């Protein structure tokens, strides 16, 4: 009799656990549903606009009354020598700036290690706040700050150089086409250094502190502890972010290059996203700009799978 009661109690307990598990699963799905809807609205519904790449679309004319041209705009990218040269120039700028950003991706790691090794908590917090704040400043304000520093007439840098007798007249740093790629990479680094270090700070905080204590007991110096404990501890995070950056190689963004572009540096600063904007919205060639943007998306998907395969080979883990 007692065994029968115990069995019934076990069955009831298992049933309650199963029901709770089902409810929890449904609850988590309902919690994620609003975000899935937002992703669908802002990431998937706009893909309908790809249809314009197959028409000779002109603003003001309904798509139903527009001529269907098939792959004409895609072919024009490679069949027209002038157009091909423009695309190659833009791709050169895109690849160069993305490569510089990847090369600089190790700097947030070094900065995070320096922050974690600071003894003064107040000084550490102050530095972290000051270096993270630029991430929340729009590129328009960043350009205003750059103009205030480097403008020809009233720029602080020019005034200092003139007062020191180094130059006789102001230099137009912002309109110059010299070292454009490097300057854009430095502005991007200044804006994102503190924010990029946050993830690595979290990874460092997750390292078992007993490893540092054991290293100290064994007589390891501070640098040895960093090299043999901290660096290996944050490498998984670094490689995941690096591979995602590789997958996003040709997506430089638009805002930074849009606000810094001018007639003098346009040939050096125009990346793929800015080129699509200039051709599509400013040049009113929406169909061709859509075709270029579609190719960019396909290349990004290919790079994502390449980065995923590279992750499997190097780390034995997949990122997707």
In this prediction, residue 164 carries a pLDDT of: 81
Cα–Cα distance for residue pair 88/218, rounded to 1 Å? 56
Task: Quickly count: other Cβ atoms within 10 Å of residue 276's Cβ.
Answer: 19
Backbone angles phi, psi at 4, to 5 degrees: -65, -40
CA distances from 267 to 111, 220, 262, 263 (A): 33, 52, 9, 8
CB–CB of 109/189 below 8 Å? Answer: no
Q: What is the mean pLDDT of each run of 10 residues along the chain (320 residues)?
A: 50 50 69 89 87 87 85 86 88 91 91 88 88 91 88 79 78 82 91 90 87 85 86 87 82 88 88 89 86 86 82 73
In this prediction, residue 43 carries a pLDDT of: 83
Structure-block tokens of residue 182: 């490097």
In this prediction, residue 107 carries a pLDDT of: 92
Q: Domain map of the chain by residue range?
A: 55-314
CB–CB of 251/97 below 8 Å? Answer: no
Q: What is the pLDDT of residues 220-255, one digit of tens each?
A: 888 888 888 888 889 888 888 888 888 788 888 888
Q: Does domain 55-314 have CATH number 1.10.3720.10?
A: yes
Half-sphere exposure at residue 66, Cβ-oriented, CA atoms within 13 angstroms: 18
Cα–Cα distance for residue pair 173/189, rounded to 1 Å? 18
In this prediction, residue 11 carries a pLDDT of: 46
Global pTM exceeds 0.85 = no
CA distances from 157 to 40, 57, 78, 249 (A): 47, 48, 45, 33
Q: Could you tell me which residues come within 8 angstroms of residue 124 by beta carbon, excluding any fewer than 6 positions away?
A: 115, 118
Q: What is the pLDDT of residues 73-111, one digit of tens each?
A: 888 888 888 888 888 899 999 989 999 988 998 999 999
Cα–Cα distance for residue pair 68/293, rounded to 1 Å? 19
Q: Which of 153, 144, 154, 146 is nearest to 174 (CA)?
A: 146
């Amino acid at each position: 009799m007692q065994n029968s009661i115990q069995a019934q109690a076990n069955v009831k307990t298992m049933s309650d656990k199963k029901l709770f598990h089902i409810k929890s699963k449904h609850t988590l799905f309902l919690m994620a549903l609003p975000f899935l809807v937002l992703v669908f609205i802002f990431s998937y519904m706009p893909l309908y606009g790809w249809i314009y790449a197959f028409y000779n679309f002109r603003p003001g004319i309904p798509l139903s009354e527009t001529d269907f041209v098939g792959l004409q705009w895609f072919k024009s990218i490679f069949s027209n020598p002038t157009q091909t040269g423009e695309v190659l120039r833009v791709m050169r700028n895109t690849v160069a700036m993305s490569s510089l950003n990847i090369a600089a991706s190790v700097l947030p790691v070094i900065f995070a290690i320096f922050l974690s090794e600071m003894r003064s908590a107040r000084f550490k917090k102050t530095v972290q706040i000051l270096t993270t704040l630029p991430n929340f400043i729009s590129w328009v304000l960043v350009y205003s700050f750059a103009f205030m520093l480097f403008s020809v007439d009233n720029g602080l840098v020019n005034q200092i150089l003139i007062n020191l007798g180094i130059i006789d007249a102001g230099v137009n740093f912002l309109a110059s086409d010299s070292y454009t790629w490097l300057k854009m990479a430095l502005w991007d680094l200044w804006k994102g250094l503190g924010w990029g270090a946050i993830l690595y700070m979290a990874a460092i905080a997750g390292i078992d502190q007993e490893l540092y204590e054991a290293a100290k007991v064994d007589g390891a110096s501070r640098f040895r502890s960093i090299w043999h404990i901290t660096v290996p501890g944050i490498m998984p995070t670094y490689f995941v972010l690096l591979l995602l950056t590789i997958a996003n190689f040709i997506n430089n963004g638009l805002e930074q290059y849009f606000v810094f572009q001018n007639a003098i540096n346009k040939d050096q600063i125009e990346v793929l996203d800015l080129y699509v904007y200039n051709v599509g919205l400013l040049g009113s060639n929406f169909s061709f700009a859509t075709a270029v943007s579609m190719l960019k998306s396909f290349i990004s998907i290919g790079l994502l799978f390449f980065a995923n395969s590279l992750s499997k080979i190097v780390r034995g883990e997949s990122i997707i």
